Amino acid sequence: MIKMKRILVKETIGRKEEKVMLCGWIHNIKKFKSFAFVYLRDRSGVMQMILDDMDMLEKIKLEASVKVTGTLKVNEKAPGGVELAVEELEVVGEAKYDLLPFSINGRDIQASLEKQLDYRTMSLRRMDRRAVFKVQQEIVEAYRAFLIGEGFSEIHTPKIIGAETEGGSDVFMLDYFGKRTFMAQSPQFYKQMMVGAGFERVFEIGAAYRAEPHSTWRHLNEYMSLDLEMGFIESEEDIMDLEERLIGFIMDHLKEKCSSELKLMKVELPKMVKIPRISLTEAQDILLKEFGKKSPVGNIDADGEKLFAKYVKDKYDSDFVFLTKYPASKRPVYTMPDPELEGMTKSFDLIFKGLEITTGGQRIHDYDMLVDNMVKFGAKPESFDFYLESFKYGMPPHGGLAIGLERITMMILGLDNIRKATLLPRDLNRVTP
């Protein structure tokens, strides 16, 4: 085959008669008597090609990867307004299956989600499946760009840790050269420590591990956590202010960068308005009064979150709501108590269309207060020396938050299962592929 620079399908748009080389997979074949329409799919789109060499046609199979040269022809009926008259076609990656696990080129995949995940590399060959991850990538890109603009530093902290960060028993244990260690449930301690180490403002895009032995539409056992932490704040309101601007920034970014993906998935981005901030107690009262819905002590259950989201949508026209001032008993040991509300904390969740996508708040920065709180929580301060040490040397007032990347992706795209927003999910039953 002659040497040419490969171009992408999307780069053929607007071209006239011209010799080009394309690479990709055989997406579809429509045979006629003396020629065939063969559709080539690359990462950018699908191209209609005309093949009149019937011997060549014999050699190709759906989903084989090929390199093709030919001449572009304007054809208004072809998708993209242009088609390719094939001159040479080389199979560079052979298809060696008896039967495809499911059809790639139909209107949708006719298989269960589990089967689609079993054959993840096949289901992702569909553009509408990969589009999810384009949007996810741009969420991350916007998150990073926004925070760098706000003076944050990106950090990478270890996931093998000597002590649990979030408490509870839901932690994976790892044998580290004979030492009992854990997989980090979050970078919580480290991001706080790095604020105190002089970075002042840090963020991390990294894996978090929760050994929760359940399998639901909204939980993963390994997920990507978008974490941030910020020093020299006045209160948790500063963190909510920051997140409000961040979410607006992400939506604007997606509008600009993902219009074709959003169109393909028929997704409308949420309209951004001032996000209401409502205390947990007030929200519980509203749920009881408006919907006759009782809430568990110090919390709102999943159904309550949905009902409350509806109430907020109706009243404030907002898809988002901050629930604030959770009781200390329901928040981790490092959460700053609210001096004006006995038993409550300077914490918040962000609820997006009825699902919690963020937990955040102000943290305790005083060494003695933190040690006392650990004792109160029944934790042994001496197990957390590596963390507490930082608090002896002028830790500034600080706070932060974490956003579950797969959750925010799922909710923006209106997906009904978090696995659809995860490239290779890990759950109770799945460690492969």
Contact positions with a copy of itself (CB under 8 A) in 153-212:
153-163, 172-177, 179, 181, 183, 190, 193-194, 196-201, 206-207, 209, 211
Axis crossing angle, helix 127-149 with helix 405-413, rounded to the nearest 10: 120
- Judged by CB, which is closer to a copy of itself: 272, or 388? 388
Strand 36-42 relative to strand 45-51, pairing? antiparallel
Point out which span in 73-81, 283-291, 326-334, 421-429 binds a copy of itself (CB under 8 A): 421-429
Least spacing, CB of residue 354 vs a copy of itself, in Å: 25
CA distance 228 to 422: 21
**Residue type at 136 in one-letter notation:** Q
Q: Of the listed pieces 121-129, 239-247, 266-274, 321-329, which binds a copy of itself according to CB under 8 A?
A: 121-129
# residues near a copy of itself by CB under 8 A: 99
Interface with a copy of itself includes 428 (CB under 8 A)? yes
CA 284 from chain center: how many Å? 29
Out of 15, 73, 130, 293, the only residue in the binding site for a copy of itself (CB under 8 A) is: 130
Residue placing its CB nearer to a copy of itself in the complex, 79 or 213 = 213
- Closest distance to a copy of itself from the beta carbon of 1 (Å): 11
Known binding residue 220? Answer is yes
Residue written as token pair 């992408």: 8
| Cβ-based nearer residue to a copy of itself, 14 or 433 | 433
Q: How buried is residue 146: exposed, middle or buried, by Cβ count under 10 Å (0-12/13-18/19+)?
A: buried
* 3 state SS of 9: helix
The minimum distance between CB 104 and a copy of itself, in angstroms, equals 9
For the chain, the distance separating the N- and C-terminal CA atoms, rounded to the nearest angstrom, is 36
Tell whether 201 is in a known binding site. Answer: no
Interaction mask 30-69, a copy of itself, x per CB under 8 A: -----------xxx-----------------x-xxxxx--
Q: Is 200 within any annotated ligand binding site? A: no
Closest CA to 245 of 225, 228, 261, 262: 228
Cβ-based nearer residue to a copy of itself, 81 or 158: 158
- Judged by CB under 8 A, the residue of 213, 296, 343, 414 near a copy of itself is 213
- Segment 329 to 368, residues that bind a copy of itself, using CB under 8 A: 365-368
**Which residue's entry shows tokens 């999910």?**
425
Q: Which of residues 63-102 bind a copy of itself (CB under 8 A)?
A: 63-67, 92-97, 100
Residue of 152, 156, 172 lying closest to 164 (CA atoms):
172
Tokens 């270890």 locate to 158
Residue 405 annotated as lining a ligand binding site:
yes
- Binding a copy of itself by CB under 8 A: which of 35, 133, 291, 311? 133
144 is in an annotated binding site: no
Please tell me whether 218 is known to bind a ligand. yes
One residue of 112, 137, 216, 259 binding a copy of itself per CB under 8 A: 137
Beta-ladder partners of 65: 25, 93
In the region spanning residues 219 to 248, those forming contacts with a copy of itself, defined by CB under 8 A, are 221-222, 224, 231-232
Which of 34, 432 has the CB closer to a copy of itself? 432
Q: How far apart are CA 353 and CA 305, in angstroms?
A: 9
Contact residues for 291 (Cβ-Cβ < 8 A; gap 6+): 307, 311
In angstroms, what is the minimal distance from the CB of 207 to a copy of itself? Answer: 6
Using DSSP's 3-state secondary structure scheme, residue 22 falls into strand
Kind plus residue range of the DSSP H or E element containing 61: none
Which residues, in sequence order, are CB contacts of 99 under 8 Å at separation 6+? Answer: none
The answer to whether 147 is a known ligand-binding residue is no
Is 15 a binding residue for a copy of itself by CB under 8 A? The answer is no
Separation between Cα atoms, residue 112 and residue 101, nearest integer Å: 11
Which residues within the stretch 290-329 sit at the binding site for a copy of itself (CB under 8 A)? none
Q: Name which of 60 and 286 has its Cβ closer to a copy of itself.
A: 60
**23 interacts with a copy of itself by CB under 8 A:** yes
DSSP state string for 326-392:
-BGGGS-TTBPB-TTSTTBBSEEEEEETTEEEEEEEEE---HHHHHHHHHHTT--GGGGHHHHGGGG
Q: Is 17 annotated as a binding residue?
A: no
**H or E segment and range at residue 82:** strand 82-93
* Residue 111 in contact with a copy of itself, rule: CB under 8 A: no
Binding residues for L-aspartate, by number, are 166, 210, 359, 363
